Structure 1
Amino acid sequence: MNNCRKWYPVLAMLAIDLALAVSNILLRKIVGDGINLLVFITYRQSISAFFLSLLAFFVERKSRPKLTFTISCLLFASAVIGTSVTQFMFLVGLQYTSATFSCAFLNMVPILTFLMALPFGFEKVNFKSGNGGRAKVVGALVCLAGAVLLTLYKGKPLFRFADSNQQSTNPHMKLNSERWVVGSIALLVGTLCWSSWYLVQTSIAKRYPCPYSSTAIMAAFSSVQSAILSLSVSRDLSIWMLNTKAHIFIILYAGMVGTGLCFVGMSWCVKKRGPVFTAAFNPLVMIMAALFEVPIWHEQLHLGR
């Protein structure tokens, strides 16, 4: 039974990556329709906070420790780094590139998390104790090489679609070199923040081991941050209107699953196996997203980006 439990974090991360891949495909639809990104993040985080608060009340109300000022500061920082900034930058990158390319930047998360974890003692490399240390370094270099290749090289297309399907019918999705550069920079910033979030979450998991409650508080902080920023940028209340049922469904899914349950699962995996283990599964999101994006959106895949 104990041997089976060792595989629980692996199975959890596979399910999380699948849910995130579906979320990324749905986000392309809502971003392509021109919805305000900060408004979307506000709705998404608000739904996540409400949904997880209900779960936390029933699951963790008897085991929840005291919420101290230090823990509150860590949760606030986690909201800034892991949700508000990361999601905004990722959505900008998604708007200017594609879902598959945006997910490709997740290949850099394991190496960045690994490098950041070393000085803080969250990860150790011992070259004298077998091949474990060498395997970590080689794996990190492979992730870095793959991310650089996907960013800088665009080779031949892997599929052939009709001309009518190769071009997006939405003007927000028509790409050019300048938009691709801006999108890549936004994705890089988001990736750095996302890698940092794993380290912050490690500290939170040790001091406040209640993933439902901590994620609900983090989502609440993020929703307030995004709402304030959105209102400071634009006072036009019409941007808060959702035009279709599809938008409502996507926001509900993104809030309850993409941010809610997925973040709870990742927090649990960080607690069980550490930040680098959890971050190592990020590249699978790109593969799963491509499996959906090619048949649904007829997104062209190339060797490289």
Structure 2
Amino acid sequence: MNMRSDEAWTWTNEVMPLVAMLMITCLDMSVLTIVKAAMNDGMSSIVYIVYHDALGVLLLLPTFIIGFFRLKFACRNVGPPPPLTFRLVFRFFILGLLGLFLYQLLTYQGIGYSSPTMASAISNLSPANTFLIALAFRMEKIDITSSSSLAKLLGTIITISGAMLFTFYQGPEIFNTGPSQDSSNQLLLSRPSDWIFGGLILIAGGIVGAIWNVLQSATAREYPDQRTIVFFFILFGTIQCIAVAPFLEPDLNAWVLHPGTGMVAVVFGTVFSVVFRNTAITWCLEKKGPVFVAMFSPLSIVIAVIMGVTFLGDSLHLGSAIGAAIVAAGFYTVMWGQAKEKNKLPITDEPDQTAPLLSSTNESNC
């Protein structure tokens, strides 16, 4: 009996988080590939964002209401949830502006000009961007005598270098399932202008996302009810998207969703990101911690390449392969520095503020 219990514990805590993260990574890239296919069919990025976010608010609303009454009536021993002040509501508004409206608009515009592979590569700049933003706001310090600080600094330089190589260098074509290109274009040292423009937009989106990470971390320390933070910043971000949507997409015909790739992208993307992804990542964070979750990020580049070549007819070039490898190396260098620095911290009863905050809808313990 004890042996079976140990085996069950090992399966749940060691194998299932691995399976869950592999599924999440594959589904993440599936969503981006479907969205890119919908954009290739003529769907505007702002149209996808508005429908995606509005459906997400509708899915989150019952969870928010149930959680609010649960905290109010079932958790009387710990008291009512913290009051919502005007300052906090304004902070939620800024979180929606940065983390939903601007980040999504820049990300999907960048994907429209480039590819999901580019988006997955640039997303691995997140730890480096966050480190630089935190350094600028004096939330991080560089100690040249500390190997962890040097690792984070070196990893930041490596990831930025890899992203630049990925964006600007094309090189010879390695693999392509689509129509063959002119051999004279296969040795170009520069990317097409649309690809470069898309990469720069994605980099700008990554910087916005890093600023959002820092602001969200400060907000979560001030207001610990994560469910309320998530619901309100998504609600405000959706309202902001709807407010500017007529200016970004004035064509009324573009807002009509017909059965096809566009509708599949909206429904699948919303249900996956709101229902499955946040729940699964929160569970993996609880079981294995933030470093384990972050380790799977570079794997998204490989999956994005496979899906892009298979379903979108993208070409795999030498510049993409070398740049992705450099970005992955820099990513793991930064993560190693963060993990080593965390292990040196004294053990206290305060919550870990270095762990990434995820937009989840998991219920608070009472």
TM-score (normalizing by structure 2): 0.67
| Residue 108 (structure 2) pairs with residue 85 (structure 1) | no
Counterpart residue number, 2:308: 293
1:47 to 45, 48, 55: 55
Separation in 2 of the partners of 1:79 and 1:274? 26
Identity %: 27
Q: What's the RMSD between the two structures over aligned residues?
A: 3.7
- For the 8 Å contact 1:107–1:283, the answer to whether it is kept is yes
Q: How does 1:242-261 map to 2 (within 5 A)?
A: 242-258=257-273
| Residue 169 (structure 2) pairs with residue 153 (structure 1) | yes
Distance 1:290 1:66, change over 3 A: farther
Counterpart residue number, 2:33: 25
| Residue 179 (structure 2) pairs with residue 163 (structure 1) | yes
Q: How does 1:133-148 map to 2 (within 5 A)?
A: 133-148=149-164
Distance 1:246 1:210, change over 3 A: farther
Separation in 2 of the partners of 1:122 and 1:61? 36
Specify the code of the residue in structure 2 equivalent to 1:150: F
Separation in 1 of the partners of 2:214 and 2:19? 22
Query: Secondary structure, in 3 states, of the residue corresponding to 1:154?
Result: coil
Shift of 1:53: 2.0
Select between 288-297 and 37-46 the one with higher mean Cα deviation.
Answer: 288-297
- For the 8 Å contact 2:37–2:261, the answer to whether it is kept is no
Deviation per CA, 1:12-35, whole angstroms, max 9, x where unpaired? Answer: 876654432222111111111111
Counterpart residue number, 1:114: 131
Shift of 1:229: 0.6
Distance 1:248 1:163, change over 3 A: closer
Separation in 2 of the partners of 1:248 and 1:195? 30
Counterpart residue number, 1:199: 214
Select between 96-105 and 193-202 the one with higher mean Cα deviation.
Answer: 96-105
- For the 8 Å contact 2:20–2:280, the answer to whether it is kept is yes
Deviation per CA, 1:251-302, whole angstroms, max 9, x where unpaired? Answer: 0222232366546777999999999998786544323322322333332111
Distance 1:301 1:234, change over 3 A: closer
Shift of 1:46: 0.8
| Residue 82 (structure 2) pairs with residue 74 (structure 1) | no
TM-score (normalizing by structure 1): 0.79
Separation in 2 of the partners of 1:119 and 1:265? 33
1:237 to 245, 249, 252: 252
Separation in 2 of the partners of 1:302 and 1:221? 40
Distance 1:57 1:73, change over 3 A: same
Separation in 2 of the partners of 1:127 and 1:25? 42
- For the 8 Å contact 1:205–1:270, the answer to whether it is kept is no
Structure 2 gaps of 5+ residues are: 1-8, 72-80, 183-190, 321-366
Shift of 1:235: 4.5
| Residue 205 (structure 2) pairs with residue 190 (structure 1) | yes
Distance 1:299 1:232, change over 3 A: closer
Distance 1:150 1:259, change over 3 A: farther
- For the 8 Å contact 1:89–1:186, the answer to whether it is kept is yes
Structure 1 gaps of 5+ residues are: 168-175
Q: How many residues are matched?
A: 293
Deviation per CA, 1:94-141, whole angstroms, max 9, x where unpaired? Answer: 111122123222232221111111244544544545x32232223222
- For the 8 Å contact 1:117–1:123, the answer to whether it is kept is yes
- For the 8 Å contact 1:78–1:197, the answer to whether it is kept is yes
